[in-house]
Copies of this chain bind each other. A is one copy, B any other.
Amino acid sequence: MAIFSKTCEYAIRAVFYIAQKSASGMKSGIKDIAAEIDSPELYLAKILQDLSRKGLITSTKGPNGGFFLTSEMLELPLIEVVKAVDGDALFTGCGLGLKQCSELHPCPLHNEFKAIRNDITLMLSNVSIGGFNQELAEGLVSLKKSKTD
């Protein structure tokens, strides 16, 4: 198991890609995005529709249309995307799957997980959606799954 669902991995990579384009005022078409982040186009379309409905990205239809981010959206912490897609089990749930795990009624790993969850929450709250635009533009980091870059 990875830390995020595949759906969420696609969502984050796509949002990073759209962010970088948006920073230079460009809209991105689904075909382009899917190719650039190496994801199934029609599945990604569904994911982006969902993010759009939830207000994390926006889009316009028709010629010259596409997905883009407003400057406010570029400032949002990445955790918003993760929460929108994977929910907040990663941030609030019990690591062993207990429904009523709490300080008073803890699972054996309660404190251990509290620390981990805190690290993850902090990390994803401290990076913004647009925070990697420059590194992406400079080609210092990659969003493509496979080697053909």
Encode A132-149 as 1/0 by CB contact (under 8 A) with B.
Answer: 100110001111111101
Asked if A1 meets B5 with Cβ closer than 8 Å, knowing A99-B145, A116-B123, the reply is yes
A147 nearest CB neighbor, chain B only: B100
Encode A1-30 as 1/0 by CB contact (under 8 A) with B.
Answer: 111111011101100100000000000000
Give the interface size class of chain A: 35 or more
| A90 touching B127, Cβ below 8 Å | no
Q: Within the complex, what minimum Cβ distance (angstroms) separates A42 from chain B?
A: 18
Asked if A97 meets B145 with Cβ closer than 8 Å, knowing A1-B87, A108-B132, the reply is yes
Cross-interface CB contact of A142 among B5, B87, B107, B147, cutoff 8 Å: B107
Asked if A86 meets B142 with Cβ closer than 8 Å, knowing A13-B96, A105-B149, A136-B108, the reply is no
**Residues of chain B contacted by A89 (CB below 8 angstroms):** 1-2
* Residue A35 CB within 8 A of the other chain: no
Asked if A2 meets B146 with Cβ closer than 8 Å, knowing A107-B141, A116-B120, the reply is no
Q: Can you offer 7 A-B residue contacts whose CB atoms are under 8 A?
A: A1-B8, A1-B89, A3-B90, A3-B95, A4-B95, A9-B95, A115-B119
